[in-house]
């Protein structure tokens, strides 16, 4: 499946919800990339902007004991992107990744293309393949 890049003007509110509104995309199809600390190691989670990350579910899915949101500065250093523009693709360091199973409900989903105001639309299967992700129920 081909991908498409969509620039938009970031608006008020959360970056993901503002992007969904600017592009006219359902918030369930617009995914946010979050970095978490799982037992001392960074991991990546991709969940709909309409919800939040379930840290206990993330830990269970990736076989860890305890997950907490990563410090934003650490997330930026590891990924090479700024918060609000972290993409699950092309990070400086390859991280274990979990994609929420709801992504598979759509033909295409949107993720950050690496900066605020730039969205990448692609098939969920391509996102999972390119990131080497595990798919599971990690959103609330």
Answer yes or no: is pLDDT of 11 > 80: no
Vertex 4: Cα angle to 89 and 112 (nearest 5): 40
**Distance separating alpha carbons of residues 24 and 20, to the nearest angstrom:** 6
Residue-level pLDDT at 19: 86
Between these two residues, 72 and 10, which has the higher pLDDT value? 72
pTM over 0.85: yes
- The domain locations on the chain are 4-136
Q: For 68-108, write each residue's pLDDT tens digit.
A: 999 999 999 999 999 989 999 999 999 999 999 999 999 99
* CATH node for 4-136: 3.90.960.10
Q: For 38-50, write each residue's pLDDT tens digit.
A: 999 999 999 999 9
Across 2-22, average pLDDT:
84
Query: How far is the CA of 3 from the CAs of 37, 42, 86, 96, 123, in angstroms?
Result: 30, 27, 18, 23, 8
Answer yes or no: is pLDDT of 12 > 80: no
């Amino acid at each position: 499946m081909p991908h498409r890049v969509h620039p938009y003007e970031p608006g008020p509110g959360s970056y993901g919800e503002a992007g969904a509104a600017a592009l006219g995309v359902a918030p369930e199809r617009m995914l946010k990339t979050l970095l978490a600390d799982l037992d001392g190691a960074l991991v990546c989670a991709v969940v709909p902007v309409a919800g939040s990350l379930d840290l206990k579910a993330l830990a269970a899915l990736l076989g860890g004991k305890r997950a907490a949101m990563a410090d934003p500065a650490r997330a930026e250093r590891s990924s090479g992107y700024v918060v609000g523009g972290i993409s699950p693709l092309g990070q400086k360091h390859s991280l274990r990744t979990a994609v929420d199973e709801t992504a598979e409900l759509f033909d295409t989903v949107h993720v950050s293309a690496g900066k605020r105001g730039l969205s990448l639309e692609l098939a969920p299967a391509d996102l999972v393949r390119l990131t080497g992700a595990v798919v599971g129920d990690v959103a609330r």
